[in-house]
């Protein structure tokens, strides 16, 4: 049962989210409505072949099963929702059902955060941190306006991390396997799980000299491997039996997409792309110094599919981003190789792996910053150091600000500004380390950086016309400025976690 404070938080959250129902919704709304129709109307063997809509099913089977469960209620609510030929259907009844489905599925996150609060001793800090995670602009913007089910999926992740914090490693690994079979983007943090479970659960030592107990270690490794294989067998087994795995994998890993999304996620490649743009413009004034192929400039803003080509700097193949991501995960490996390893170190490694994939991954969406912020929020709930709280403040402001362009309509302008401002003020004043609020813990340059989002908002949201023909500039400035904050906090946390 939920206690009074949890029920109050849920009530406040529900009220805010109900107010967001009339807001715009993105193409992801039709994506998920179409998935409801696919899973409700077709046999399982046709789910990953159906292509009447361009929004084909490209999530793993357990999420498809989740959509099928929702479709059972959708058929009773409004049968037209699950009509596979009713493309683009967005009647008021459909909007209400899908908005409500996000809110109900987010109860998984509520229950998981409640578990973390109990682990942290139900302190004021843990309750505030959990409330800020639940009511974060990330979930409000992406799930309840733009439209996705990140609260449900991140709730499963929080459950997995909570089990690890409780010392229930086998259950943590099983839960993570379920999560991977719901959305494969979480494979980016799989290295942290692999190393942690191998060292903390599978390796058993005995005696005064802590010698390896091969028999006990083998049994634990077999137990962990068995439950993971069982989860994947349940999820993918039917498609293997039908001979459809190649088609499923082709849907899950569409490598034809380019390096950057149309709106560059605030990571290293945003800085790389912006540098290329600046050099291309400079080449017009100094063609004898800089050679540029300006015909390639549009490739970095094409969006959903297509290769990203650069005018001046070398093109970046997928293999290069994969290698860079692996190198960037080195700090996580350092954390997990400590002699005295505990579950808090594991959560730190998860944060660093998520950071690495966000900073250097291929075709990263700006929304993926939530995967970094949620586990980092759990660390903040558990008596963080002043330095960790500083990095959390910088990342949360930069990361959530980078989501503002998702809500591009004029009617959403005051809404997104108010939500981000209120959340930021609460975070900076209510979260504490050593008794001091987050704002007082910040260094001068960090305060200036956070305050710099105000003129950035004025420039890119209120008077974007000042850029004239440089229509890409407002979005580019948001990506670049927030990328600086994301990169700064990544470097700071990597250094802090490796030292602790």
Per residue in 104-147, pLDDT (tens digit) is 999 999 999 999 999 999 999 999 999 999 999 999 999 999 99
Percent of the chain with pLDDT over 90: 73
Give tens-digit pLDDT for 43-87: 999 999 999 999 999 999 999 999 999 999 999 999 999 999 999
Evaluate if residue 172 carries a pLDDT over 80: yes
For residue 20, the model assigns a pLDDT of 86
Closest CA to 98 of 13, 11, 25: 25
What's the pLDDT tens digit per position in 198-225? 999 999 888 777 788 889 999 999 999 9
> Which pLDDT score, from 0 to 100, does residue 138 have?
95
Q: What is the pLDDT of residues 313-358, one digit of tens each?
A: 888 888 999 999 999 999 999 999 988 899 999 999 999 999 999 9
Rounded Cα distance, 187 and 122, in Å: 31
The pLDDT mean for the chain works out to 91
Distance, in Å, from the CA atom of 255 to the CA atom of 253, rounded to the nearest integer, reads 6
The token duo for 69 is 């469960």
Residue 303 has pLDDT above 70, yes or no: no
pLDDT at 270: 92
Checking if the pLDDT of 364 tops 80, the result is yes
> Which of 118-127, 256-265, 360-369, 483-492 is least confident?
256-265
* Average pLDDT of the residues in 183-193: 96
CA angle 128, 335, 375 (to 5 degrees): 25
pLDDT digits (tens, 9 = 90+) for 262-293: 668 899 999 999 998 888 888 888 877 787 77
What integer pLDDT is reported at residue 304 of this predicted model?
44
On the question of pLDDT at 305 being above 50, the answer is no
184 has pLDDT over 80: yes
Q: Which residue has the higher pLDDT, 470 or 46?
A: 46
SS3 436: strand
pLDDT at 296: 59
**Residue 409: predicted pLDDT:** 81
Q: What percent of the chain has pLDDT over 70?
A: 95
Model confidence at 301: pLDDT above 50: no
> For residue 97, what are its two tokens?
């059902």
3-state SS, one letter per residue, for 63-104: HHHHHHHHHHHHHHHCHHHHCCCCCCCCCHHHHHHHHHHHHH
Above 90 in pLDDT, residue 363? no
**182 and 232 in contact (C-beta within 8 Å)?**
no
Strand partners, 205: 212
Note the pLDDT of residue 2: 65
């Amino acid at each position: 049962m939920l206690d009074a404070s949890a029920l109050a938080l849920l009530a406040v959250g529900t009220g805010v989210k109900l107010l967001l129902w009339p807001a715009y919704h993105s193409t992801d709304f039709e994506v998920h409505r179409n998935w409801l129709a696919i899973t409700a109307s077709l046999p399982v063997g046709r789910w990953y072949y159906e292509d009447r809509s361009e929004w084909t099913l490209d999530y793993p089977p357990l999420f498809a099963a989740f959509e099928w469960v929702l479709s059972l209620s959708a058929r009773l609510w409004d049968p037209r929702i699950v009509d596979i030929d009713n493309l683009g259907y967005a009647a008021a009844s459909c909007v209400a059902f899908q908005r409500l489905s996000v809110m109900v599925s987010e109860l998984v996150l509520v229950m998981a955060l409640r578990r973390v609060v109990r682990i942290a001793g139900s302190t004021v800090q843990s309750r505030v941190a959990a409330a800020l995670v639940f009511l974060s602009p990330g979930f409000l913007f992406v799930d309840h306006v733009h439209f996705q089910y990140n609260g449900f999926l991140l709730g499963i992740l929080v459950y997995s991390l909570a089990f690890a914090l409780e010392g229930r490693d086998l259950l943590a690994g099983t839960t993570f396997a379920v999560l991977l079979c719901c959305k494969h983007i979480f494979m980016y943090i799989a290295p942290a799980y692999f190393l942690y479970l191998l060292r903390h659960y599978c390796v058993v030592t005995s005696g005064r000299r802590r010698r390896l107990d091969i028999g006990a270690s083998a049994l634990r490794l077999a137990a962990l491997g068995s439950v993971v294989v069982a989860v994947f067998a349940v999820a993918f087994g039917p498609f293997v039996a039908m001979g459809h795995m190649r088609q499923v994998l082709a849907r899950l890993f569409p490598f034809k997409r380019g390096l950057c999304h149309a709106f560059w996620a605030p990571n290293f490649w945003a800085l790389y792309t912006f540098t290329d743009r600046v050099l291309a413009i400079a080449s017009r004034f100094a063609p004898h110094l800089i050679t540029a192929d300006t015909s390639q400039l549009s490739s970095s803003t094409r969006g959903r599919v297509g290769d990203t080509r650069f005018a001046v700097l070398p093109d970046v193949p997928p293999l290069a981003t994969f290698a860079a991501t692996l190198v960037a995960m080195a700090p996580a490996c350092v954390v997990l190789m400590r002699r005295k390893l505990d579950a808090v170190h594991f959560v730190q490694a998860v944060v660093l792996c998520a950071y690495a994939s966000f900073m250097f991954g291929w075709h990263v969406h700006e929304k993926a910053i939530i995967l970094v912020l949620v586990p980092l929020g759990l660390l903040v709930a558990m008596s963080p150091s002043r330095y960790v709280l500083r990095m959390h403040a910088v990342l949360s402001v930069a990361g959530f600000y980078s989501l503002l362009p998702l809500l591009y309509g004029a009617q959403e302008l005051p809404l997104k500004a108010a939500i981000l401002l209120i959340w930021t003020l609460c975070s900076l004043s209510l979260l504490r380390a050593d008794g001091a609020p987050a704002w007082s813990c910040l260094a001068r340059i960090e305060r200036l950086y956070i305050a710099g989002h105000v003129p950035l908002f004025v420039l890119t949201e209120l008077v974007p016309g000042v850029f004239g023909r440089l229509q890409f500039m407002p979005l580019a400035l948001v990506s670049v400025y927030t990328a600086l904050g994301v990169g700064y906090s990544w470097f700071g946390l990597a250094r802090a976690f490796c030292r602790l």
